[in-house]
Amino acid sequence: MLTGRNSLLSVIIGLAALPLLGQEVAMSEHLTLKDCIVRAIKYNLGVAVQAYSSELADLTVAKSREIYLPTLSFDFGKDSQNSASYYWTDAAGQNSTTSMNYSTSLRQAIPFGGSISLTLASFNNWTNARFQMINPRYGSTLTFSFSQPLLKGFGYATSRKDILVARNTRDIVENDLKNNLIETVFSVEQAYWDLVYLNEFLKVKRQSLKLAEDLLDKNRKEADIGTLAPKEVIGAQAEVASRRADILQAVSKVKDSTDTLKGLINLPLDKDIGDIVPADTPGFVKWDITLEEALVIGLKNRPELQSSALEVKNKELDYSYAKNQTLPALNLNAGYWSPGISGTRIFYLDNNPLTGIIVGTLPGGPSLAMRDALHFKYENWSVSLSLEIPINSVFSRAAQAQAKTGLDQEIARMKQTEQNIYIGIRAAVRAVQTNYECVGARRTARELSEQKLEAEEAKLKVGLSENFKVLTYQRDLAEARTAELRALIDYTLSLGQLDKAMGISLEKRSIKLTDALKVK
């Protein structure tokens, strides 16, 4: 299609290609369009900002997954109580009790909204109260617990809603990055070819000035020898001055266009590092594609449509979750625990604690209680169902209606996106076809202007024409040349616009999202 474009289609932009450019461009550096796109992917600030957004989205997904990381907790407490004795069973004078509790618990969330936990709790207790059979006393309990919602909060999608939404949002951000890259590539193309056009436009203006100056010299010589009226010299001088003013304006536009391209590839604008000289020139090869083919490609590849579909999925998750929250809370709870007890056993006279006469003790430590608990010496279990019907269900119904409205809105927005893509592709295909025809028409007009000028200059040499006509034909030729160049540039840009409309700008240049993510 185009000299520069053909080279782009074979470019593989990866880490190996990124070091092609340094942070600064040498004075009057000749850059290809490929060089500018590579640099934009590496240094463009908008791409860098979007790349950080993609990284943040990845971290959000990682954070949402943390609900399935086990939770380990530790508890410790110590208590000492002293009070006056009021009963004959109490110790004389003051009743004292010292206790210490400590536990370790491991909790794990499971799919479908439930959880399991394992807890090992221990305590020791000492008291000076009378008639104790074991004092101090040590206890340990190993407990397995299971809880599963059966209505509200039940379901794989319900329990993992935040993870699923985070994943979809991450994909949306990646599509935004892709769209940003597509926009950046086209912006670089547009700025590059505009600079090409303005440079060529400046050359045409300078050629036009040269023709006017040559005519002015000729008129002066003829006026000096008396074969031409002085007013013809004045007319030629006015035309030279006008064309010099055109050059000043063209130079200013070239500088503005250069700054635009520098901004896109993030070259410093606060110091003089020289101008960018485009090394590519536009070509002219017809590219045929039907509207039907373009629509199929566009609907498959446009990142905006993919993002819209993901937004619909998120709204569907919100709606499903809102419906689930209107259900009663019916929970299944199950437990299994194994206690253990030990301590210093106290023996009384005649095995009667009421005598208060201690005849011996049998020491026992906390390890015995722990052993009994871990060996399931005493097995216990429980199963229960709990039902909770919220009175404020009317508000939950409102949340469900709100979620449904949000879903309907997102579906309508996706249809609108499809429509906009359809319209954009139609316009892009039409522009390619129209601009191709315009190039041929402008080329013919330029060739005819050249022939008219040549004929008029030949007539002027033999005195059959006037300077005014020659100047007019010169101006017409300059305008025809710039119009032809503008048509070539427009055709080139319409091809890029079509790639953008179909969402294939990156694929055709082998640009990957990782290229932007690795160089942010």
8 or 398: whose pLDDT is higher?
Answer: 398
Residue 10 lies in a domain: no
Residue 243 lies in a domain: no
Residue 145 lies in a domain: yes
Pairing of strands 71-84, 29-31: unpaired
Q: 467: buried, middle or exposed (CB in 10 Å: 19+, 13-18, 0-12)?
A: buried
Q: What is the mean pLDDT of residues 196-203?
A: 89
Residue 5's pLDDT is 36
> Contact 453/470 with Cβ under 8 angstroms?
yes
Residue 49 has pLDDT above 60, yes or no: yes
- Domain with 113, as residue range(s), is 33-185+289-520
Q: Which of 33-42, 53-62, 390-399, 452-461 has the lowest mean pLDDT?
A: 390-399
Q: Which two tokens stand for residue 355?
A: 């005598």
List Cβ neighbours of 405 (8 Å cut-off, separation of 6 or more): none
What are the φ and ψ backbone dihedral angles of 48, each rounded to 5 degrees? -65, -45
Q: What is the mean pLDDT of residues 139-145?
A: 95
Residue 279's pLDDT is 87
Residue 88's pLDDT is 66
Residue 28's pLDDT is 61
Residue 269 lies in a domain: no
Residue 141 lies in a domain: yes
Per-residue pLDDT tens digits for 449-485: 999 989 988 888 887 877 778 878 888 888 898 899 8
- DSSP single-letter state for residue 326: T
Residue 86 lies in a domain: yes
Residue 269's pLDDT is 64
Number of domains in the chain: 1
List Cβ neighbours of 258 (8 Å cut-off, separation of 6 or more): 195, 275, 276
Q: What is the mean pLDDT of residues 280-299?
A: 87
CA-based torsion, 296, 301, 303, 306: positive or negative:
positive
Residue 140 has pLDDT above 90, yes or no: yes
Residue 1's pLDDT is 37
Residue 19's pLDDT is 35
Residue 2's pLDDT is 37
Residue 327 lies in a domain: yes
Residue 458 lies in a domain: yes
For residue 374, what is the domain's CATH number? 1.20.1600.10
Q: Which of 131-135, 432-436, 462-466 has the highest mean pLDDT?
A: 432-436
Instruction: Report d(CA 96, CA 267) in Å as an integer.
Output: 80
Residue 353's pLDDT is 77
pTM: 0.74
Instruction: Report d(CA 520, CA 514) in Å as an integer.
Output: 10
Instruction: Report d(CA 109, CA 117) in Å as an integer.
Output: 9
Q: Which of 65-74, 288-297, 390-399, 419-428 has the lowest mean pLDDT?
A: 390-399
Residue 520's pLDDT is 47
Instruction: Report d(CA 239, CA 80) in Å as an integer.
Output: 108
Cβ atoms within 10 Å of 221's Cβ, excluding its own: 12
